[in-house]
Amino acid sequence: MISKMKNEGIIVKTIPYKETSKIVYLYTNEGFKSVKAIGAKKSKNSSFGFGEIGNIVSFIASDSSFPTISEYEIIYSSYKLTEDFNSIMALGKIIELLNYIPEDSIHYRIYPFIKDIIMNIDKNPLKALTIYLIKMTYNFGVSPKLDSCIICGNNNIIDFDVRLGGAICNNHSNNDNYLLKLMVEYYKEKKKIEEYNDYDFKKALEYLNEYYLIHTNIDLKIRW
């Protein structure tokens, strides 16, 4: 008897397998999984969304080291984003960074957060990507120092120094920085994307791109 397991995940990569099938890589609340989707390439039906990157699917797979899908259901389809450049770009960067998540991360906490970000991406893609990148710093073992000036300890902080990885005070900067405000909001435990104020997210993303490059060595290539 073959036992079956119900699961859910975000599709991050697919590769062709034999004549008509695919191997599908998913990010789930237990980390990464790979499954075989037999016949996935043969289907001319465009609704066969099991192999579409960025889709969120629930599926039943055989319980083995290399499981085969028997049933699936699409929870979220990235197909509807194809008309909006920023949404597609944001989804691409979210999935790109997922590939770097350390194996021993707390996946059951990360997964629902990422699912929520993806399902709301089209409302404000640049904001969704910004908040995602702020949250994910923690999983790479870097946490920005935000309570006081990283240079002198003064509490009157106004700017964020990407290179030093912390807040700086009005004696050391005269630049009012969006990224600092966003990070402070994040660390005040705002949960939903709508709860965050609106800033110049393009600028915030430029800072975050540089922050990741310096502190994690990951180049997300976010340039405008």
Binding site for Zn ion (CB under 5 A): 149, 151-152, 154, 169, 171-172
Residue nearest to Zn ion (CB): 149
Tell me whether residue 141 or residue 153 sits nearer to Zn ion (CB atom): 153
Record the tokens describing residue 192, joined without a space: 């939903």
Q: DSSP string spanning 207-218?
A: HHHHHHHHHH--
- Across-strand partners of 161? 166
- The CB-of-136 to Zn ion minimum distance in angstroms stands at 27
Report d(CA 189, CA 152) in Å as an integer: 26
- The CB-of-145 to Zn ion minimum distance in angstroms stands at 12
* Residues 35 and 69 sit within 8 Å (Cβ to Cβ): yes
Residue 197 neighbours by CB under 8 Å, 6+ apart: 181, 182, 185
Tell me whether residue 164 or residue 213 sits nearer to Zn ion (CB atom): 164
* Residues 185 and 222 sit within 8 Å (Cβ to Cβ): no
- The CB-of-153 to Zn ion minimum distance in angstroms stands at 7
Tell me whether residue 163 or residue 223 sits nearer to Zn ion (CB atom): 163
Tell me whether residue 135 or residue 181 sits nearer to Zn ion (CB atom): 181
- The CB-of-214 to Zn ion minimum distance in angstroms stands at 20
- The CB-of-134 to Zn ion minimum distance in angstroms stands at 22
Report d(CA 25, CA 75) in Å as an integer: 16
Tell me whether residue 142 or residue 151 sits nearer to Zn ion (CB atom): 151
C-alpha torsion 101→121→75→98, nearest 10: -10
Tell me whether residue 69 or residue 183 sits nearer to Zn ion (CB atom): 183
Report d(CA 52, CA 78) in Å as an integer: 8
- The CB-of-166 to Zn ion minimum distance in angstroms stands at 10
